[in-house]
Amino acid sequence: MYKARAWLSRSFTALSSNPLRVCVVGSGPAGFYTAEKTLKAHQEAQVDIIDRLPTPFGLVRSEKLQQIVINQFSRVVQHERCSFFGNVTLGSSVSLSELRQLYHVVVLAYGAESDRALGIPGEDLIGVHSAREFVWWYNGHPDGKNLSPDLKSTDTAVILGQGNVALDVARILLRPTEELATTDIASYAWTALEGSSIRKVYLVGRRGPVQAACTAKELREILGIKNLYVHIREDDLIKSPTDEEEMKNSRIQRRVYELLSKAAASASSQPMLGQRELHFVFFRKPDSFLESNERSGHVSGVHFEKTALKGGGPGKQYAVGTGEFEDLDCGMVLKSIGYKSVPVNGLPFDNHKGIVPNIRGRVLKNISGDSSQVENGLYVCGWLKRGPTGIIATNLYCAEETVGSISEDLEQGVLASSSGLPKPGREGLLQLLDNRNVRPVPFSAWEKIDSEEKRLGSLRNKPKEKLTTYEDLLKVAT
């Protein structure tokens, strides 16, 4: 783990009139941890965090934990050497090349805002959505309001994937709406869920219960929904010797398997009348989406191929098709198969891996992996660096590594030619945005948004009533 060294303060003592100017693109956990580590490691650094949304914190704003993390990040941005500017989009408000001219160091931490495609027939049918879109919709993300999923025309939803996002989506579909009413769920989403006809949710994974990608915490939460019938096939719970080895090596996998086994053992043989149902289905991969005969262009089911595990040992098992198929009827499909980062002009991008090619956070000039071909002063952190994996805390270690690389480059003089001359930094950025009539939203304006959302929420016995359009957010921020 990287630790600040004495030379860090010496490096810029002589540059107090020319501080290290750092711009972090993205205000989710990766961005804030990067800013925090940079401020601690470099006593003269000025750090600006920009985000395309008017609101900071990324998906943390949309999750449960989360007040602890938000409080921590708020302290970071309120540091005298740190600023936040929302409503600033990389690519349109300001280009990457312009940021690199304005700052000594640019760290890209804007995450993954698109979705992996399955590439199978019927993926464009009405009723097939990504889980990311659905999460944005019910969380009041300004880009998710117009999704309008049809929750009335079917009683069955299939979710492809068994990670935490998949479980979150299933929980929203199955949890009693009287409980959701006192959360910060978007009001339009609560209204739609109140009228939902969905009573059965299938969580489908390619591999087995030992390989389920969720955490025990998220699994306990969905299994704890009151009056919920849970079904897991007994055959799916049979473990191979390799599975046993995997469980020995992973406390998380062991705990998840134990929770699934306990749920299967305690479940009744049939659901009671009116009871909502959660079905865990393992060893299935989607082959195609089926089109409805009654409603042209709409999904009516998923054609699955049964799978078996192959591979060279614990942690390396993968699913292969067996040539046996079965159909599962449904009127809505949510794909939770992974997020995908979006490239920007001037940035090398590995489309296969969905990441920016890098070595310990240093951006490479191309995807060859040649460590000698480095884009000096340009770094990555978070999902853009490693792919869409891990939990919030994973970004802490990821940020430490990237900031460690920045510090090493400063010590070795790699950035000396850049840092030897003054850079416009914050002042230059604000001038450029003003010239383009882009109105950045500082943290003080976000605090106005936060206060207004809490005020509106108090009228409805909710923690918040989120503002869900750019127009409303910017109006309050003024």
Write the DSSP string, 36-47.
HHHHHH-TT-EE
Determine which of 24-38, 344-358, 406-420, 443-457 has the lowest per-residue pLDDT on average.
406-420
Report which of residues 384 and 151 the model is more confident about: 151
pLDDT of 189 > 50? The answer is: yes
Please, which pLDDT band fits residue 354 given cuts at 50, 70 and 90?
confident
- Whether the CB-CB separation of 219 and 260 falls below 8 Å is answered with yes
Q: What integer pLDDT is reported at residue 316 of this predicted model?
A: 87
SS3 334: strand
What is the predicted pLDDT for the residue at 54? Answer: 93
- Statement: residue 63 has pLDDT above 80: no
Phi, psi of 337 (to 5 degrees): -110, 10
* pLDDT score recorded for residue 73: 83
> 372-411: per-residue pLDDT in tens?
788 999 999 998 888 877 777 788 899 999 999 999 998 8
pLDDT for 447 equals: 93
Q: Over the stretch 277-304, which tens digit does the pLDDT of each residue have?
A: 999 999 999 999 999 999 999 999 999 9
- Of the two residues 120 and 2, the one the predictor is more confident about is 120
Write out pLDDT tens, residues 211-220. Answer: 999 999 999 9
Query: 3 or 177: which carries more pLDDT confidence?
Result: 177
Query: Does residue 63 or residue 184 have the better pLDDT?
Result: 184
Confidence of residue 193 (pLDDT cuts 50, 70, 90): very high
Range with the largest mean pLDDT of 50-64, 293-307, 353-367, 374-388? 293-307
Residues 414 and 33: their CA atoms lie apart, in Å, by: 23
Retrieve residue 318's tokens.
């993968």
**Residue 279 in contact with residue 203, Cβ under 8 Å?**
yes
Cα–Cα distance, 52 to 434 (Å, whole number): 16
pLDDT at 312 over 80: no
Contact 384, 356 (CB under 8 A): yes
Among 51-55, 111-115, 242-246, 469-473, the minimum mean pLDDT is found in 111-115
Task: Give 230-249 pLDDT, tens digit per residue.
Answer: 999 999 999 999 999 999 99
Query: How does strand 128-130 pair with strand 299-311?
Result: unpaired
Residues near 348 by beta carbon (within 8 Å), at least 6 away in sequence: 356, 357, 363, 364, 365, 366, 367, 375
Q: Which pLDDT belongs to residue 292?
A: 96
Percent of the chain exceeding pLDDT 90 equals 68
pLDDT range class, residue 66, cuts 50, 70, 90 = low
For residue 181, the model assigns a pLDDT of 93
Averaged pLDDT, 324-335: 97
Helices assigned H by DSSP within 21-82? 29-41, 67-77
Residue 2 has pLDDT above 70, yes or no: no
**Phi and psi dihedrals of 426, rounded to 5?**
-55, -45
pLDDT at 8: 33
Mean pLDDT of 357-376: 85
Per-range mean pLDDT, top range of 40-44, 213-217, 323-327: 323-327
Residue 180 has pLDDT above 70, yes or no: yes
Predicted pLDDT at 42? 92
H or E stretch at 50: strand 46-50
> Mean pLDDT score of the chain, rounded to an integer?
88
Predicted local confidence at residue 105, as pLDDT: 95
- E strand or H helix at 291, and its extent? strand 284-291
> Is the pLDDT assigned to residue 370 strictly greater than 60?
yes
What's the confidence (pLDDT) of residue 343?
Answer: 75
Taking only the tens place, the pLDDT of each residue in 410-451 is 888 887 544 467 889 999 999 999 999 999 999 999 999 999
What mean pLDDT is predicted for residues 129-141? 92
